[in-house]
Structure 1
């Protein structure tokens, strides 16, 4: 049986096609509103996806206002921030990624992650704070330290910046600060020596910048207080891919055992 002709269905007057209006489009929103919407999106998605949607979104993602808002929302514009930061997107990512790149800085894992170890005398030893003839560390979170012997003891770590998430363009163009810190102390009944040497290295491990402390001598009958030493690398030029951190020391009385310098809470951070 053949079907009848198709019937024409018309919308009732209240639902006619002419009365159906499209909702407001994203590009019609005021820029300030659009920035607030984009600021709720994860940063990686903003860079990898949102900035590819259209020219307007690209300009907003590449601009300062969006990243200033994200920094404010996530508490990244406190006393440590730079209100005149040239590139707020990089400031945001560097602030979020900031962490100590030195592994096992306090000896909680024995000598794990430390390479090129030189064990002069009786070699390195890990002890509990405060130790004999020692003082407590300024932070309660630090519970152990490394201690040297009667001949030079040295140990080092090499940090692969790309493996830690600091991409080449960032290191070559922005050249964020590389901040190095270390803590050292003697025991009050023995004198000792301490040295710190940090190098910024290229892909081929050429030295592009270097900081080397003087040989610091701590006399016998010292107060055993912990002392912080620090250095900040900046404007070091393109090509930095690795950071090599080395420290060490010995006692000056040549007593058998572990009467040399004590070190702990070493750190390397990449900062805006």
Structure 2
């Protein structure tokens, strides 16, 4: 198939009539990359859970397992950069003179990933002139560990991977007065973000707790997708 045929196939399949499509691009690569409508993040569910099934109910052992404190869940974190921040004990609500046998130790577990939009099959003219919608979605568990158990920070970056062109942050507050244990969705749509975007930096943090045993906040279904441009 000729280069012109691959270009025409891209145009027809994704409805790109009127979108700048330079002839010099490798349109076979673009077509086979299928950059529109698919998740551009690698390994979107490193803990092995699906948002289509309820988060698992925790079964408490008869005796605490003991051992040193844990601050990171088990999982396959291939494709992610991870880090852990152990937080100081919170004694703010304890009256003076009260003796406490044990307190939960909280920690933030952070995962981040950078998406190279051009390596995924997008091209300069499309990103700069059309600025297709970039849709971010994530799901986290109502773990009931704390009022603040989840944070999302997504940045659209210039070619230097440092200059921030647009960004979005979410820090939802949990309602702890009634028990609920479901997946909660966090999402955002970037549009009209300006020229120059070449990378998406996706970062989320979940709060875990350790008190004689490890109590994590689970997450799944992280995604970054680009919507086809319809002219």
TM-score class, shorter-chain normalisation, is 0.5 to 0.7
SS at match of 2:126: helix
CA distance in 1, matches of 2:78, 2:220: 14
Greater than 4 Å deviation, 4+ residue runs: 93-96
Structure 2 counterpart of 1:227: 184
CA distance in 1, matches of 2:78, 2:175: 28
Aligned residues between the structures: 173
Unaligned 5+ residue runs, structure 2?
A: 22-30, 49-74, 88-104
Equivalent residue in structure 2 for 1:243, among 189, 197, 200: 200
Shift of residue 187, structure 1, vs aligned partner: 3.1
Q: Which has the higher helix share?
A: 1
Shift of residue 256, structure 1, vs aligned partner: 5.0
Larger radius of gyration: 1
CA distance in 2, matches of 1:255, 1:218: 22
Equivalent residue in structure 2 for 1:87, among 7, 12, 18: 18
Unaligned 5+ residue runs, structure 1?
A: 1-41, 51-60, 78-84, 123-148
Q: Is the 8 A contact 2:19 2:126 kept in 1?
A: no
CA distance in 2, matches of 1:255, 1:43: 63
Q: Is the 8 A contact 1:200 1:210 kept in 2?
A: yes
Distance 1:151 1:46, change over 3 A: same
Higher RCO (Cα < 8 Å, 6 or more apart): 2
Residue 99 of structure 1 pairs with residue 38 of structure 2: yes
Q: Is the 8 A contact 2:109 2:206 kept in 1?
A: yes
Distance 1:43 1:241, change over 3 A: farther
What pairs up with 1:187-202 in 2 under 5 angstroms?
187=143, 190-191=145-146, 193-202=149-158
SS at match of 1:46: helix
**TM-score, scaled to structure 1:** 0.54
Q: Is the 8 A contact 2:35 2:122 kept in 1?
A: no
Q: Is the 8 A contact 1:193 1:218 kept in 2?
A: no
**TM-score, scaled to structure 2:** 0.63
